[in-house]
Structure 1
Amino acid sequence: MNNIFSSRAVCGACLSQSVLRWVGIRAPQFGPPLRARARMHTGHGKLTGSGGFYCPKRPQRCLTPQRHVSGRHGGTMNVFDRSMKRRQKTWASRLPEHHEYDYLRDEVGGRVADRVYDVARTFPLALDVGCGKSHIAEHVSKDIVERLFLMDVSHGSLMRKKECEMPTQCVMADEEFLPFRENTFDLVVSSLSMHWINDLPAALRQIHGVLKPDGVFIGAMVGGETLYELRCSLQLAELEREGGFSPHISPYTAAADMGNLLGQAGFNMLTVDVDEVQVHYPGILDVLYDLQGMGESNCAWNRKCLLHRDTILAAAAIYREMYGNEDGSVPATFEILHMIGWKPHESQVKPAQRGSATASFGELSKISQPQTSNKTDKP
């Protein structure tokens, strides 16, 4: 049976120190996990396109850690309520029909696994950051990844993890504070969890740190154009009904910024590409119910917790009028940013030095031309 290491103070037997030293888990000071009541909602969409716990022996204090901005001027940034996101994911994992809301995560997890297969090597030790119910692991064989660590902030999601071929170990920890030593993993993957991180540059630097030299990070997160139909409909409805609007959809990272963020974190040989996954729903309420069932409800500190009935009805009409399909359904677009970055190593191919070229671009057009002979016949 797979154990679940927890970086929080929770009840259970302490694991042996030899196991903890082997993976290098360190315990940040957090309070006990909060619990949320389980409630039931319905609404379905379709695609078109374990054991013991680690208990730190040091005294614990219930503190909210500071998130520091990665900019030059310092300061703090706390856009998302991480404790709220943990409660949302735990609540969603307790739904009786929780598996019916996994269609998007399963689809994106399969695409991340495809990119893992594109790397022609075997990874002895890998880490899945924000694994949820292990949506990537079920698509990866033990011939590619020999051992996998699953890490998530929600204990409920880890308890619902899916079966996979390779041996796994679960670690309950916050994605913003990786509890591992440097140079530990050969591969780090992540799927649809990093868009809830307050300080994304710092999180990427931590991922870079726990990777071994020549290790690779393969991740996917939602981009800035995600749910633009829902965002526009709610804004127009609130403007018309209430004379102003509040942010109901959380801010996302633009695709143009991911390359710079990966480069600043220390990765090289970068690859960033964009996919669009479109899901069709019967109406706007089904979109909201499924987002809640996924654990993807907004958790920004400046969110508006109440939507008036008139505003929802107006938004439903606007959604159907502006974006509705002929069959009466409405689309919801998810922009998925796929990223690959390698930790530098001396064995990697490096670009040639500037000015070392032996041919100019002007000579490229002459390569395909047949060579003419200037020889003359001698008598």
Structure 2
Amino acid sequence: MAAAARALRGSGRPALRAGCGCGWGGRRRLWAPPGGSAGAAAAAASPPAGSSSGSGALSPFDRWLKRKQKNWAAVQAEPAKCDYLREEVGGRIADRVFDITRTFPLALDLGSGRGYIARHLTKETVEKLIQVDIAENALKKTVQSEIPTVSVVADEECLPFKEDTFDLVVSSLSLHWVNDLPRAFREIHQVLKPDGVFIGAMFGGDTLYELRCSLQLAELEREGGFSPHVSPFTAVSDLGHLLSRAGFNTLTVDTDEIQVNYPGLFEVMEDLQGMGESNCAWNRKPLLHRETMLAAAAIYQEMYGNSDGSVPATFQIYYMIGWKFHESQARPAQRGSATVSFGDLAKIDGLLSRGKK
């Protein structure tokens, strides 16, 4: 069945540009616990020092568990089999970088994973790229890129870089697991140089609504209540406000949806685990009863199934672009400086004629 799932997912996917050639790489460890390899092994069994150890309104996610999930996904026999969504969004982020007609000497990829953005960029656009992720196993298995890269193991919630360092910061499908998103945006703004740009993508609130509804209905039927199995997401109406408060200007926020067809609910959950996207919210329910899972699979098929027997999974993506202020940037005209009223737009032809005379 897993092979059938991959066949369904592979059909109809657009071809993306892939980087070629060989890059040079280095790796710095700024997040892992002390003690070398022994410390890294211990991290798999216990949270690192300083990590959040309890739930709360301000810390909805277990960051240590998320690191463990991503590390596990990266060391599977064929991790690329579940990378299709990250590769697609990484390519779309790269397209937005190409839309800016300049060369970026130094860029940062925040939550880079195995390098899903870097493979689509060119050295004519980005001269050097720093890749940051909490999962050291993902950084050890980065895909090849023609851009020189350096890998840094660090937490996206606390960036270990000086102010005004990067010309470009990109992030793809990582920030939705950050506990303090306003702080993360402020830190991104801080490490950007003046006139630098941030281009990011994160999952939106309608992501996996089919899975969420099926699991909730099945639990209500079989267990008399339900608990969250899909993590909470930020509303698109909040993103612009958060970016503005962090200091960004000339903002652009837009949404898109990617729908992937699977043989059934179990394949959806299998691939989410392979992506490192399993739920890590503190209030998650650790186990699901077998009868509940079977009921959820039947509900999923009945409510959302396609005519060919497959089921869709919807991923809503928020894309955001924000710039750090610089004197050279274009600014809106002062209020009241207009010479033509909106009420005169219907007479625009006449106004243009008088101007020519």
Where 2:170 maps in the other structure, the secondary structure is strand
Per-residue deviation, 1:363: 1.0
In the other structure, the counterpart of 1:17 is none
Where 2:349 maps in the other structure, the secondary structure is coil
Where 2:51 maps in the other structure, the secondary structure is coil
In the other structure, the counterpart of 2:77 is 96
Equivalent runs, 1:91-240 vs 2, <5 Å:
91-240=72-221
- Which letter does structure 2 place at the counterpart of 1:159? K
**Residue 284 of structure 1, aligned match among 265, 269, 275:** 265
Match status 1:246 vs 2:269? no
- Following TM superposition, the consecutive aligned residue runs of length 4 or more in structure 1 with deviations greater than 3 angstroms are 9-13, 30-33, 369-373
**Residue 43 of structure 2, aligned match among 14, 34, 54:** 34
Residue deviations 1:9-46, cap 9 Å, x none? 44559xxxxxxxxxxxxxxxx9986227xxxxxxxxxx
Match status 1:4 vs 2:13? no
Q: Residues 332 and 33 (structure 1 numbering): CA distance in 2 closer, same or farther, change over 3 Å?
A: farther
Per-residue deviation, 1:341: 0.1
CA distance in 2, matches of 1:169, 1:190: 16
Determine what percentage of the aligned residue pairs are the same residue: 62
Q: Residues 118 and 371 (structure 1 numbering): CA distance in 2 closer, same or farther, change over 3 Å?
A: closer
Instruction: Give the structure-2-normalised TM-score.
Output: 0.88
In the other structure, the counterpart of 2:340 is 359
Per-residue deviation, 1:63: 2.9
Where 1:344 maps in the other structure, the secondary structure is coil
Where 1:367 maps in the other structure, the secondary structure is helix
- Which letter does structure 2 place at the counterpart of 1:63? G
Whether contact under 8 Å (2:33, 2:43) holds in the other structure is no
In the other structure, the counterpart of 2:5 is none
- Which letter does structure 2 place at the counterpart of 1:342? W
Where 1:273 maps in the other structure, the secondary structure is strand
CA distance in 1, matches of 2:196, 2:53: 29
CA distance in 2, matches of 1:181, 1:80: 27
Whether contact under 8 Å (2:189, 2:324) holds in the other structure is yes
- Which letter does structure 2 place at the counterpart of 1:114? D
Q: Residues 114 and 145 (structure 1 numbering): CA distance in 2 closer, same or farther, change over 3 Å?
A: same
Where 1:271 maps in the other structure, the secondary structure is strand
- Which letter does structure 2 place at the counterpart of 1:281? Y
Where 1:269 maps in the other structure, the secondary structure is strand
Q: Which has the larger radius of gyration?
A: 1
CA distance in 2, matches of 1:142, 1:370: 49
Residue deviations 1:276-296, cap 9 Å, x none? 000000000000000000000
Per-residue deviation, 1:369: 4.7
Where 2:255 maps in the other structure, the secondary structure is strand
CA distance in 2, matches of 1:315, 1:251: 20
In the other structure, the counterpart of 2:11 is none
Match status 1:307 vs 2:330? no
The gaps in structure 1 that reach 5 residues or longer are 14-29, 37-60, 68-74, 374-379
Q: Cα RMSD over matched residues?
A: 2.2
Q: Residues 370 and 246 (structure 1 numbering): CA distance in 2 closer, same or farther, change over 3 Å?
A: closer
In the other structure, the counterpart of 2:330 is 349
- Which letter does structure 1 place at the counterpart of 2:219? E
Where 1:229 maps in the other structure, the secondary structure is helix
In the other structure, the counterpart of 1:86 is 67
Q: Residues 165 and 346 (structure 1 numbering): CA distance in 2 closer, same or farther, change over 3 Å?
A: same
- Which letter does structure 1 place at the counterpart of 2:155? D
**Residue 257 of structure 1, aligned match among 238, 241, 244:** 238
Per-residue deviation, 1:76: 7.0
CA distance in 1, matches of 2:305, 2:350: 55
CA distance in 2, matches of 1:159, 1:372: 66
CA distance in 2, matches of 1:200, 1:100: 30
Residue deviations 1:256-292, cap 9 Å, x none? 1111111111100000010100000000000000000
- Which letter does structure 2 place at the counterpart of 1:365? A
Residue deviations 1:177-202, cap 9 Å, x none? 10101000000000000000000000
More helix by share: 2
